[in-house]
Structure 1
Amino acid sequence: MTTKADIIEQVAGKTGATKGDTGRFFDALVEVITEALDANESVSLTGLGTFSVKHRAARTARNPRTGEAVKVAASRSARFSVSSTLKKALN
């Protein structure tokens, strides 16, 4: 598994930037993507994919142990769709 630290080290090595600068860039990138998703905007990174927000409606579920009805609140979830370029590169 590749970790955040591994990515920062590899990007720093490929760009000649320091690990500190690369780490700050990575953190800023994640922050910008998070802010866009929080504003219900999608983020498209050409060659990588698209981040978007999935809305889940409120619903009633059942507790499998007791059978009791449980209300589940509406929520939002981040989704990622892989670009066709990346799919082709993997296959």
Structure 2
Amino acid sequence: MAAKPMTKTQLVAAIAEAMEADKKVATAALDAVTDIITKEVAGGGAVTLPGVGKIYCRERPAREVRNPATGEMLQKDADKVVKMTFAKALKDSVNA
């Protein structure tokens, strides 16, 4: 069974340790990176995190979907979804 995902508190602690800084600085750094990624992707751009991957927004066209409860076909409007392509370095480190 897989381990539980790292929480924000654990991530902040790990960043603080890696930066040799306090948790307040690490929290500010993490929040800044999160805000920048959110703004860029929401604006239709993409962000590449070296060694991790690329986060981008993709538009999906309008399409017909089936309501699983009734079997009725419904028209779904076009929308946008956030996608991530993982870097080869990350894939290789997981499979090593």
**1:62 Cα deviation after fit:** 2.2
Counterpart CA distance in 2 for 1:56 and 1:34 is: 19
Q: How far does the alpha carbon of each residue in 1:20-61 deviate from its partner, in whole angstroms, 9 at most, with x for none?
A: 111111111011001110111111111111001121111122
Query: 2:58 aligns to what?
Result: 54
TM-score (structure 2 length as normaliser): 0.85
Aligned-residue RMSD, C-alpha: 1.3
Give 4+ residue runs of structure 1 displaced > 6 Å after superposition: none
Classify the secondary structure of the residue corresponding to 2:6: coil
Q: Does 1:32 align with 2:40?
A: no
Report the identity percentage: 29
- Equivalent in the alignment of 1:83: 87
TM-score, reference length from structure 1:
0.89
Structure 1 residues without counterparts, runs of 5 or longer: none
The whole-number CA distance in structure 1 between the counterparts of 2:17 and 2:43 is 34
| Alignment partner, residue 65 of structure 1 | 69
Number of residue pairs aligned between Structure 1 and Structure 2: 91
